[in-house]
Amino acid sequence: MVSKAPPCSAAATAVSSTVRQGRFGVLGGILKKGYSPGTVTYTALIKGLCLVDRVGDAAKLFKKMRRLGCRPNIITYGTLINGLCRTGNTGLALQLHQEMVNGNGGLDSKFKPNLVWYSTIIDGLCKEGMVDKAKELFLEMKGSGISPDVVVYSSLISGLSYYDDGWEEAKGLFIEMLDGGICPNVVTFNGLMNALCKVGRTQEANRLLELMIQRGVKPNLFTYNTLMDGYCMQGRLDDARELFFSMGNKGHERDVVSYNVLINGYSKSGRVEEGMKFYRHLIREGFKPTIYTYNTLLTGLFKERKVEDAWKIYDEIQANGVKPNSITCNIFVNGLCKNDCLLEALEFIKALGNTGFAPTIEFFNCILDGLCKAGNVDTAKELFYKLPEKGFVPTVVTYSTIIHGLCKEGKLEKANDLFLEMEEKGCAPNVVTFNTLLRGFCQNNEALKVVEFLRKMSEREVSPDAHTFSIVVDLLTKDEKYSEYLNLLPTFSAQGQTNDPSDELLRGTESVSMSIYIAKLPSQDVGTWARMHDMDIRLNISSHSKEYEMIAVDKNKRAEAARMVLFWASEVNQEYVIVKADYQVLVNCSFSASVTSVEGTGGGYGYADHLGGICDDVFVGLSALLLFLCSFLVLVSSLPFSCVSARGKQEERSNDWRNHRYYNQSWSGIQNSKV
């Protein structure tokens, strides 16, 4: 069917004005009267549907108009692309964009998108974390002769905060726009500050604040909330608090987000009581709490095992008319399971059924984990096998959870069987699955099994992570025969390794050293961790694995941080004795931090001397690890740090190592022991 001439503009106007009110019956009326809608009418309808968030229907209508031979114009494309981007369907928007540029295989006319549409898609892509795609489009746009403006730059700069190292690129873009004569505005500054704060570079963010004031750009509420969150993430709660109270003086009243940020800071640092105080303050001041407020508080409460208080908060959510979301439900199910309130968790899920909330496989993963943690791995297995009947497809997480439960109870053979079963069913094991099994076998001193699974891992091209290394280190250091195992360790395939090997090596060694002492810390001692905020240490407590992960944000403070943590640990927990592995960590940290004056004797060397007295071959163990890392990277032929020295800024450090007597001594030891 070919469309007739467009209907009279009066009809299109009627459609346009009524769709805005969401009255779509008008279209039916027009069709019944024998009018055939044209592009303008369709576009108006699509716009109306987008306005009331019925983007799916808008897309259907778009398809229909094309099927009926009515050609979309540039405004039709623009309207739909806008709607799709706004509702998190940027992938589809991108497809449309490409059709629009290429002319849909000759079916439709080609159009040249303008600045604002590029800006819309780039922003949408950034919001959905597809920053690489956004960068591609950015180049495409520049290639077609459109100069990006401050909005496009700002979108990209804030999008880059998705990546840990995004701040460097964000900074580059910032400089690029300055060079191009485009003035950054408050949004641009906020975006860059956020990228810096996300990785703990609050000092630089502060300098940026000064710069913006200098340039006459007035900071706003977003600026201060961003900075405050940066402080919180570093555990610098006192600074965050100070900023919170000083905001009023700077002419920016606090908003509910300011409260949320601070409450989140306290919750994450194991000081939920203080978070609660700010929550009460918020209510007293007449702010309306949001679901963020509650989710944050609940996370903190469950983390500190305050299940009763969590239920009280749940009542307050209802009382204050705030709508819980899927995150709230997840926090509850997870929190209850983790706090051994399995029955309550089941009740909770049952209650969710009445609210129309549909549990997902992730919910069952929580339940299964809860069952396993409570030592009911058999019940968990029963539930696990019932899931497919109910239409839930077990994921790699589901399998890994059960495998974890089995390993925990020493049922390693059954764990091994389930591994085979998951592969049979076509579910690919990931690094967590392997780590779980490896840990199980390590704890049982089954070195041959460890080697077998490392080999499987390499065959399936699953890249090991810091935990894998830490598990292997554990085996290497606790067993005298580590050099024998070392010869058995497979050489990992270089395929699938896209990262810069020297980067990987550095990350690997640093994470390993962290993991070692983390494993030795008293795991329930939240108070100790709270005292770390002066040290610029970002704390990430993973409730799932009940292990602590920490990153000293400032590399130069790592060694100091490690020392402090170890001594706190021995101070708080009388049973805690500093062992040789701890010294190893200190030495390793000192070197990796290039700190030269810890404990007076000169950084890592000082600890190395202590270490020498305790155990001469500790460095042999350390080098064994390095060698393992290197063989994994197929760098066996070169010295461990020769690849590192390729990076100019690490030159000094690698020399430190190579000249060090322990290092040389142990290196020759390893060379001899290698067949």
Partner DNA sequence: GGAAGATCGA
What is the contact surface with DNA in residues (CB under 7 A)?
75, 78, 82, 114-117, 119-120, 123, 127, 149-152, 154-155, 158, 161, 185-188, 190-191, 194, 220-223, 225-226, 229, 255-258, 260-261, 264, 268, 290-293, 295-296, 299, 325-328, 330-331, 334, 362, 542-544
Q: Which is nearer to DNA, 359 or 602 (CB)?
A: 359
Alpha-carbon distances of 474 from 409, 515, 517, 661, 662, rounded to whole Å: 20, 10, 11, 24, 21
The closest alpha carbon to 505, from 650, 378, 402, 374, belongs to: 650
Q: Which residues pair with 551 in a beta bridge?
A: 538
Residue closer to DNA, measured from CB, 262 or 454: 262
Least separation in angstroms between residue 520's CB and DNA is: 23
Least distance to DNA, CB of residue 115, Å: 6
Amino acid at 553: V
- As measured in angstroms, the least distance from the Cβ of 164 to DNA is 14
- Which of 557, 667, 593, 596 shows the shortest CA–CA distance to 235? 557
343: how many CB neighbours lie within 10 A of its CB?
9
Which stretches does DSSP call E strand in 453-580? 537-542, 547-552
Select 221 or 342, whichever has its Cβ closest to DNA.
221
| 537 three-state secondary structure | strand
CB 302, min distance to DNA, A: 8
If 0-12 CB within 10 Å is exposed, 13-18 middle and 19+ buried, where does residue 438 land?
A: buried
d(CA 383, CA 394): 11
- If the CB atoms of residues 330 and 665 are measured against DNA, the closer one turns out to be 330
Helix (H, G, I), strand (E, B) or coil at 492: coil
Of 304 and 560, CB closest to DNA: 304
Smallest separation, CB 635 to DNA (Å): 34
In degrees rounded to 5, what are phi and psi of residue 110?
-85, 145
Nearer to DNA, 330 or 570 (CB): 330
CB of 126 to DNA, least distance (A): 7
CB of residue 244 vs DNA: minimum separation in angstroms?
A: 12
Please state, as a whole number, how many other Cβ atoms lie within 10 Å of the Cβ of residue 675: 5
- Nearest approach in angstroms of CB 198 to DNA is 7
Of residues 149 and 479, the one with the C-beta less far from DNA: 149
CA distances to 158, 203, 266, 524 from 185, rounded to whole Å, are: 13, 20, 31, 46
Alpha helices in 71-201 (DSSP H): 74-86, 90-102, 115-127, 131-143, 150-159, 166-179, 186-198
- Report the distance separating Cα 464 and Cα 666, nearest Å: 25
Q: Which CB, 258 or 477, lies closer to DNA?
A: 258
Q: Which is nearer to DNA, 178 or 256 (CB)?
A: 256
Q: State the minimum distance, in angstroms, from the CB of residue 260 to DNA.
A: 3
- Give least dist CB 27 to DNA, A: 21
Angle at which helix 256-268 crosses helix 221-233, to 10 degrees, equals 0
Residues listed for the chain: 675
If the CB atoms of residues 119 and 654 are measured against DNA, the closer one turns out to be: 119
Angle at which helices 342-354 and 326-338 cross, to 10° = 160
